[in-house]
Amino acid sequence: MCATLLTGCQDPPASADSGAPDTSYPQWAFPGTTTVSLQGSQAAYSEVQMYDRTMAVDWYPESHPAMPDAVTGRPPTFACGFCHLPQGAGRSENAALAGLPYAYIVQQAQDMRAGLRKSPNPKFGPAMNMQTTIKQVSDADIQDAARYFSSLTFKKHLKIVESDTVPRFTADAFVWVIDTRGDRQPLGQRIIEGPDDFEGFERRDPNMTFTAYVPTGAIADGEYLAAGKGSRPACASCHGVGLKGGQIGPPIAGRLPTYIFRQLYAIKSGTRRGADAVARMKPIVDGLSQKDMVDLAAYVASLDP
């Protein structure tokens, strides 16, 4: 297989003189080495490349500006675009970076490098990968990536479903795989969120849609909390009108609810510290119950960006 994007690229014919590998072997005997594609894309990748963290899988290069090296990948350094995708769309296990302010992205990277921003669960693989990556990249890489992602427009790919129950689900690749054909179970005070097409998710489709099941009434309860009705300030006082970004807080409207919940939980637990904006959040989040955080995440995710 070609070592890079396979579009327009063919393996040379095997010959004794060239030393090229023999590709006439039965592919069924060597799983994981075939070529995969995505509908609507002219690109093709080997399955090995699909899991290579040092390169960004870029199905639609025409949909975004030229990527800097930090985003597209420069082995052995992990590529920002591998996890966050070239469009900055993000996935259930990480953050959507598209449209976040340049200074905010740089600050978060610096906080991670300084050990001020960590996952409440140290065994969560995506967070572990981020901790590895941030130690590999230079300040210039961080600035290049922040400049790139901040120039992109965030697009919402999410459906929120309020329900007392949730379909059967299992964990795979640090996300929930939801089987709508199976029996349902009580949802309780949880958010169960997963891709609508796990195969497309595994192929890193930037247009992948997600469904998040949230408790019945969570959106209205979250709206009440976000409006500051009570003893805490309104979320809009920092995150702006419609929570689309303000002078202090980044845009959060329409972002995946599990990501919002993880950040609230991390701030409350003390595993996310650092910037002034986070320090301002700490006394607010300290007064929230887990139900409150679920409700806020559901409401924020329900908004249009």
Mind listing the pLDDT tens digit for each residue in 153-168?
999 999 999 999 999 9
Q: Which amino acid is at 171?
A: A
Closest CA to 77 of 152, 32, 126, 137: 137
With 0-12 / 13-18 / 19 or more C-beta atoms within 10 angstroms meaning exposed / middle / buried, residue 46 is middle
Q: Domain 158-302: state its class.
A: mainly alpha
Domain 61-150, CATH among 1.10.760.10, 2.60.120.560, 1.10.510.10, 3.10.150.10: 1.10.760.10
Bridge partners (DSSP) of residue 184 are 167
Q: Where are the domains of the chain?
A: 61-150, 158-302
With 0-12 / 13-18 / 19 or more C-beta atoms within 10 angstroms meaning exposed / middle / buried, residue 146 is buried
- At 47, is the pLDDT very low, low, confident or very high (cuts 50, 70, 90)? confident
pLDDT digits (tens, 9 = 90+) for 179-236: 999 899 999 999 999 999 999 999 999 999 999 999 999 999 999 999 997 678 999 9
With 0-12 / 13-18 / 19 or more C-beta atoms within 10 angstroms meaning exposed / middle / buried, residue 237 is middle
pTM: 0.88
| Own/partner long-range contacts of 136-143 (Cβ < 8 Å, ≥24 apart) | 136/76, 136/77, 136/78, 137/70, 137/77, 137/109, 141/68, 141/69, 141/70, 141/77, 142/70, 142/105, 142/106, 142/109, 142/110, 143/106
pLDDT higher at 156 or 3: 156
Q: Which amino acid is at 166?
A: V
CA distance 29 to 128: 33
